[in-house]
Amino acid sequence: SSFKNCDKLTMPVFVAHGTYDILIPVQQARQLAQRMHGKKTFFYHEIVNGNHDSPCFCSEAADFVLKLL
C-alpha cells in the first residue's frame, strides 16, 4: 500500500481527494498526507464537498505537473 511504503517514494506525488468520497474515506488520504508531510515533492489537495470522481477535474493537478517541467 502507498501508506505503508510512502517513505520509499522518491518521485513527485500529488494526492487530491473529495471530502464526500463514499468509495474511499477521505481519512485515508489525510493519513497519507500526514505521513508525507514535509516532503518537498508531495502535494495534498482536499476537495470540499467533492466525491470520488472530483479529482479528475482538479486544476491543481495540472499546476503541480507544470511546476515539475
Among candidates 18, 3, 1, which has minimal Cα distance to 57? Answer: 18
pLDDT at 32: 94
**Model confidence pLDDT, tens digit, residues 19-60:** 999 999 999 999 999 999 999 889 999 999 999 999 999 999
Cell matching residue 13: 506525488
User: Which residues 6+ apart lie within 8 Å of 20 measured at CB?
Assistant: 26, 49, 50, 51
pLDDT band, residue 2 (cuts 50/70/90): confident
Among candidates 29, 27, 25, 24, which has minimal Cα distance to 6? Answer: 29
pLDDT at 9: 86
pLDDT at 4: 85
